[in-house]
Amino acid sequence: MKRYLSLLTLLVAALIGCELTPEDNSDTGWNSGNVNNQANNLLPELFTLNGVVWSPGADDPALISENRFPISGALVAAYIEKPDPPSDSRFYCLERVVIPRNVPHATTDFDGSFTLKLMPDTDYYLVIQKGLFRRVRTYHSGFLGEIRDLEPSNLGGVKDPKVSLPRHHDPDNGDWTPRILVIVGRGEGLLGMAYEALGMVENVDFYSISDTKAQHIAENVEELMKYNIIVASCGDESTYLSSDRSREALREYVRLGGRLFIDDFAYDWVEQPFPEFLSFQVDYTEDYSLGICAEGQDAPDQVGKCVSYACYDPAGKAEDPYLQSWLDEINDASQIPLEYGCNIIRAMGKGVQGECEDPEDPRCVNGLLVDKPKVWMSGKWPGVAMGGTDYDLPITVSWDYYCGRVLYTTLHTHAGDERVASYKLLMQEKIMIYLLLELQTEVDDGPVE
């Protein structure tokens, strides 16, 4: 048997040597299409490993089953040698993940599923990764022709740790997570519950600060760069954001690789540094004039001017086909149930998003990529007559800015007003976790084959 395996190993090496060079590393976790690399396709009778990649904390027995959901577009790879860890600095420009062709790898399908073809009776380092959530575990493959499934038979039960994204940052034990700062506004004191529902612990796995106390962070790039992602929700008391110092610091933070994830009344966290991308419709307000707000290239001279207090439960529609396909797997309703949205995106403008990869791209202007935000979801607001179809207004959008990314949504992250022991994530919160993961993936303007 050992002699047979040795010959089989030599055959795989010979086949790889005929087709590839050491520099031929063009396959990545995002263009492999859940199909194994060339060597594995040549030998489909090898050991087969099936599984599903799950949301952070899905291996935690304390989590309720409703808060476990599959992760699409995640990288799964099996290395013979231990892969290099991410940078210790924790803040860096995310680059495209390149996987050597001789490493079995796949991307998860919309239901989180994957298949790997592995050499039998072999030790591997199994890597799962989505954005900055990364887990590495050892795995020993079975015998020739065997098929194993890492998905437990008890539906809705605790998931295998090898295929659950981590909720704690513990590099010594093979777990990496992003540093997340939550800016808590006056309208959402329980914003952290969405992360606690995944088993994360405040001031350990994510950090919180009131928007009235975050000025020293917003005005200093070095302070901002202590965090990979900054989440801000439902507040218009960050008066310092209208200063040039805050605007410039936030813009530089994103340019270097930071991520902003902002919702409803906290819109100034994106409007002040990036006024060119969004304008708002104010049909009801307590403080400012009605009509179009923040139109053009200049930010409002005051925080909170675009707040509309007429909140709503919009009928939602996914505008991104990959998001829709994922929703088809996890949402058992015919419509997307959305609750408590505030602010109305009236229009989107074009702005610089980075350097051009392709000079023939029509969006390329003087070497820079200029484009409107990407729309993830749109919706209809009752009583708002804007013309067009029922789904003519965006409710969740994002744009790149060099190495970083910005996302704005009119929806609350958490729509409740009290803390409960077993908090069940709303569908819109699961969507936001999905988008939080997408927000972390590398910014790459080049084509994906």
Domain with residue 113: its CATH number is: 2.60.40.10
Q: How far apart are CA 386 and CA 398, in angstroms?
A: 22
> On the CB side of 239, how many CA atoms lie within 13 Å of its CA?
1
CA triple 251-252-253, angle to 5 deg: 90
Domain shared by 247 and 263, yes or no? yes
With respect to residue 1, please indicate whether it lies within any of the assigned structural domains: no
Among the candidates 142, 175, 208, a domain finishes at 175
Find the helix packing angle between 321-330 and 427-440, rounded to 10°.
140
Domain shared by 112 and 198, yes or no? no
Domain shared by 101 and 139, yes or no? yes
Q: Which of 46, 63, 44, 45 is nearest to 54 (CA)?
A: 63
Among the candidates 175, 195, 218, a domain finishes at 175
Domain shared by 248 and 346, yes or no? yes
With respect to residue 323, please indicate whether it lies within any of the assigned structural domains: yes
Q: Which amino acid is at 264?
A: D
Domain shared by 269 and 157, yes or no? no
> Taking the mean position of all CA atoms in its chain, how far away is CA 371?
21
Domain shared by 232 and 360, yes or no? yes
What per-residue confidence (pLDDT) applies to 5? 39
Q: Where are the alpha helices (DSSP H) in 109-212?
A: 193-196
With respect to residue 110, please indicate whether it lies within any of the assigned structural domains: yes
Domain shared by 183 and 61, yes or no? no
Domain shared by 49 and 155, yes or no? yes
Domain shared by 317 and 339, yes or no? yes
CATH number for position 390: 3.40.50.880
Predicted model pTM? 0.86
Domain shared by 201 and 58, yes or no? no
With respect to residue 410, please indicate whether it lies within any of the assigned structural domains: yes
What per-residue confidence (pLDDT) applies to 441? 83
Domain shared by 89 and 226, yes or no? no
With respect to residue 247, please indicate whether it lies within any of the assigned structural domains: yes
Q: 358: which 2 tokens?
A: 């392709």
Among the candidates 145, 175, 205, a domain finishes at 175
Domain shared by 53 and 126, yes or no? yes
Cβ atoms within 10 Å of 352's Cβ, excluding its own: 17
What per-residue confidence (pLDDT) applies to 25? 35
Q: How far apart are CA 16 and CA 39, in angstroms?
A: 6
pLDDT by residue, tens only, the chain of 449 residues: 433 333 333 333 333 333 333 333 333 333 334 444 444 454 557 999 999 999 999 999 999 999 999 999 999 999 999 999 998 888 888 877 788 889 999 999 999 999 999 999 999 999 999 999 999 999 999 999 999 999 887 766 899 999 999 999 999 999 999 999 999 987 776 777 888 889 999 889 999 999 999 999 999 999 999 999 999 988 778 999 999 999 999 999 999 999 999 998 899 999 999 999 999 988 777 777 778 888 888 999 999 888 887 777 887 889 999 999 999 999 877 778 787 788 889 899 999 999 998 989 999 999 999 999 999 999 876 655 444 455 578 999 999 999 999 999 998 776 555 566 678 888 888 999 999 999 988 754 332 22
Strand, helix or coil for residue 365? strand
Q: How far apart are CA 268 and CA 304, in angstroms?
A: 7
With respect to residue 211, please indicate whether it lies within any of the assigned structural domains: yes
Structural domain for 81, as ranges: 19-175
With respect to residue 85, please indicate whether it lies within any of the assigned structural domains: yes
Q: Which of 102, 169, 109 is nearest to 134 (CA)?
A: 169
Q: Which of 263, 318, 257, 273 is nearest to 440 (CA)?
A: 257
**Which phi and psi angles does 41 have, rounded to 5°?**
-65, -30
Q: State the total domains in the chain.
A: 2
Strand, helix or coil for residue 106? strand
With respect to residue 430, please indicate whether it lies within any of the assigned structural domains: yes
